[in-house]
Protein backbone atom coordinates (compact mmCIF):
# COMPACT_ATOMS: atom_id res chain seq x y z
CA UNK A 1 0.00 0.00 0.00
CA UNK A 2 1.31 3.42 -0.96
CA UNK A 3 1.14 6.14 1.65
CA UNK A 4 1.69 9.79 0.94
CA UNK A 5 2.89 11.78 3.87
CA UNK A 6 1.87 15.38 4.17
CA UNK A 7 4.53 18.00 4.62
CA UNK A 8 4.90 19.07 8.19
CA UNK A 9 3.67 17.47 11.37
CA UNK A 10 0.36 15.78 11.93
CA UNK A 11 -2.01 17.98 13.85
CA UNK A 12 -4.48 16.62 16.33
CA UNK A 13 -6.21 19.79 17.46
CA UNK A 14 -9.30 17.98 18.61
CA UNK A 15 -9.28 14.39 19.77
CA UNK A 16 -11.51 12.12 17.75
CA UNK A 17 -14.40 10.79 19.77
CA UNK A 18 -15.67 7.74 17.91
CA UNK A 19 -18.83 7.57 20.05
CA UNK A 20 -19.98 11.06 19.13
CA UNK A 21 -22.06 11.52 16.00
CA UNK A 22 -20.55 14.12 13.68
CA UNK A 23 -23.61 15.95 12.34
CA UNK A 24 -23.41 18.12 9.24
CA UNK A 25 -25.95 20.76 10.25
CA UNK A 26 -25.52 22.70 7.03
CA UNK A 27 -26.52 19.62 5.02
CA UNK A 28 -29.56 19.08 7.22
CA UNK A 29 -30.56 22.73 6.78
CA UNK A 30 -30.22 22.41 2.99
CA UNK A 31 -32.39 19.25 3.03
CA UNK A 32 -34.95 21.12 5.16
CA UNK A 33 -34.97 24.01 2.67
CA UNK A 34 -35.43 21.60 -0.25
CA UNK A 35 -38.31 19.79 1.46
CA UNK A 36 -39.92 23.14 2.24
CA UNK A 37 -39.43 24.20 -1.38
CA UNK A 38 -41.35 21.18 -2.63
CA UNK A 39 -44.14 21.79 -0.10
CA UNK A 40 -44.36 25.49 -1.00
CA UNK A 41 -44.52 24.71 -4.71
CA UNK A 42 -47.34 22.22 -4.14
CA UNK A 43 -49.12 24.71 -1.90
CA UNK A 44 -48.85 27.35 -4.61
CA UNK A 45 -50.27 24.93 -7.17
CA UNK A 46 -53.19 24.19 -4.85
CA UNK A 47 -53.94 27.91 -4.61
CA UNK A 48 -53.76 28.26 -8.40
CA UNK A 49 -56.12 25.31 -8.70
CA UNK A 50 -58.56 26.97 -6.30
CA UNK A 51 -58.41 30.20 -8.29
CA UNK A 52 -58.89 28.56 -11.68
CA UNK A 53 -61.17 25.64 -10.88
CA UNK A 54 -62.70 26.52 -7.51
CA UNK A 55 -63.93 23.98 -5.04
CA UNK A 56 -66.96 22.79 -7.06
CA UNK A 57 -65.41 22.58 -10.55
CA UNK A 58 -66.52 26.14 -11.22
CA UNK A 59 -63.86 28.78 -11.71
CA UNK A 60 -63.03 30.24 -8.34
CA UNK A 61 -62.92 33.78 -9.62
CA UNK A 62 -66.55 33.67 -10.78
CA UNK A 63 -68.19 32.88 -7.46
CA UNK A 64 -65.80 33.95 -4.75
CA UNK A 65 -65.61 36.65 -2.14
CA UNK A 66 -63.06 39.37 -2.86
CA UNK A 67 -61.17 38.56 0.37
CA UNK A 68 -60.90 34.87 -0.51
CA UNK A 69 -59.84 35.70 -4.06
CA UNK A 70 -57.19 38.22 -2.96
CA UNK A 71 -55.75 35.87 -0.33
CA UNK A 72 -55.54 32.99 -2.80
CA UNK A 73 -53.82 35.16 -5.39
CA UNK A 74 -51.33 36.32 -2.75
CA UNK A 75 -50.47 32.74 -1.75
CA UNK A 76 -50.53 31.50 -5.38
CA UNK A 77 -47.77 34.00 -6.17
CA UNK A 78 -45.67 34.08 -2.99
CA UNK A 79 -45.54 30.30 -2.37
CA UNK A 80 -43.90 29.30 -5.70
CA UNK A 81 -41.52 32.26 -5.58
CA UNK A 82 -40.51 31.30 -2.03
CA UNK A 83 -40.09 27.71 -3.26
CA UNK A 84 -37.54 28.81 -5.85
CA UNK A 85 -35.61 30.79 -3.24
CA UNK A 86 -35.71 27.90 -0.76
CA UNK A 87 -34.51 25.44 -3.40
CA UNK A 88 -31.60 27.74 -4.17
CA UNK A 89 -30.98 28.00 -0.39
CA UNK A 90 -30.91 31.77 -0.62
CA UNK A 91 -31.72 34.09 2.24
CA UNK A 92 -34.52 35.79 0.29
CA UNK A 93 -36.21 32.41 -0.10
CA UNK A 94 -36.26 31.93 3.66
CA UNK A 95 -37.58 35.46 4.14
CA UNK A 96 -40.38 34.94 1.61
CA UNK A 97 -41.26 31.59 3.14
CA UNK A 98 -41.44 33.11 6.62
CA UNK A 99 -43.57 35.94 5.22
CA UNK A 100 -45.92 33.40 3.61
CA UNK A 101 -46.03 31.24 6.75
CA UNK A 102 -46.63 34.27 8.96
CA UNK A 103 -49.39 35.44 6.63
CA UNK A 104 -50.99 31.99 6.71
CA UNK A 105 -50.85 32.00 10.51
CA UNK A 106 -52.41 35.48 10.64
CA UNK A 107 -55.14 34.48 8.17
CA UNK A 108 -55.93 31.35 10.16
CA UNK A 109 -56.01 33.05 13.54
CA UNK A 110 -57.39 36.53 12.85
CA UNK A 111 -59.49 35.97 9.72
CA UNK A 112 -60.98 32.47 9.93
CA UNK A 113 -63.99 33.61 7.89
CA UNK A 114 -61.83 33.85 4.74
CA UNK A 115 -60.38 30.31 4.64
CA UNK A 116 -62.07 28.77 7.63
CA UNK A 117 -60.49 27.87 10.95
CA UNK A 118 -57.21 26.33 9.83
CA UNK A 119 -55.67 25.97 13.28
CA UNK A 120 -53.75 22.82 12.30
CA UNK A 121 -52.08 24.68 9.42
CA UNK A 122 -51.19 27.59 11.72
CA UNK A 123 -49.67 25.21 14.27
CA UNK A 124 -47.77 23.36 11.52
CA UNK A 125 -46.32 26.64 10.23
CA UNK A 126 -45.30 27.65 13.77
CA UNK A 127 -43.59 24.28 14.22
CA UNK A 128 -41.71 24.68 10.92
CA UNK A 129 -40.61 28.21 11.81
CA UNK A 130 -39.33 26.94 15.16
CA UNK A 131 -37.54 24.04 13.45
CA UNK A 132 -35.95 26.46 10.98
CA UNK A 133 -34.73 28.64 13.85
CA UNK A 134 -33.28 25.65 15.69
CA UNK A 135 -31.57 24.27 12.57
CA UNK A 136 -30.12 27.70 11.77
CA UNK A 137 -28.84 28.00 15.32
CA UNK A 138 -27.21 24.55 15.16
CA UNK A 139 -25.66 25.32 11.77
CA UNK A 140 -24.24 28.61 13.01
CA UNK A 141 -22.91 26.99 16.19
CA UNK A 142 -21.25 24.18 14.23
CA UNK A 143 -19.71 26.68 11.81
CA UNK A 144 -18.40 28.76 14.69
CA UNK A 145 -16.96 25.68 16.37
CA UNK A 146 -15.23 24.51 13.19
CA UNK A 147 -14.43 27.96 11.90
Instruction: Provide, rounded to the nearest whole percent, the portion of the chain with pLDDT above 90.
Output: 50
* pTM of the shown model: 0.76
Residue of 103, 102, 81 whose CA lies nearest to 93 = 81
pLDDT of 66 reads: 83
In a domain, 25, yes or no: no
Vertex 104 angle, CA 68 and 26, to 5°: 145
The tens digit of pLDDT for each residue in 55-102 reads 666 666 666 788 888 888 999 999 999 999 999 999 999 999 999 999
Residue 3: the pLDDT is 47
pLDDT in tens, 15-56: 454 445 567 888 999 999 999 999 999 999 999 988 888 766
Residues 119 and 126: their CA atoms lie apart, in Å, by 11
Q: What is the DSSP letter of 19?
A: T
Residue 13 placed within a domain? no
Asked, for residue 7, whether it belongs to a domain, the answer is no
Judged on CB neighbours under 10 Å (0-12, 13-18, 19+), 77 is middle
Say if 101 falls within a structural domain: yes
- Residue 6 included in any domain: no
Residue range(s) defining the domain that contains residue 91: 34-146
Compute the C-alpha angle 42/106/117, nearest 5°: 75
Please report the pLDDT score of residue 137 as a whole number: 93
Q: Is the dihedral of CA 44, 46, 49, 55 positive or negative?
A: negative
Number of domains in the chain: 1
- Residue 3: inside a domain, yes or no? no
Q: Does 14 fall in a domain?
A: no
22 located within any domain: no
Amino acid sequence: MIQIKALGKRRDDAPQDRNRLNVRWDGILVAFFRALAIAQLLKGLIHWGLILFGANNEPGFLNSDPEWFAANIYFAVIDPVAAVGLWLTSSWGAVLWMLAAGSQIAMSVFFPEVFGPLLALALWNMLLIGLYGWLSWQTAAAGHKNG
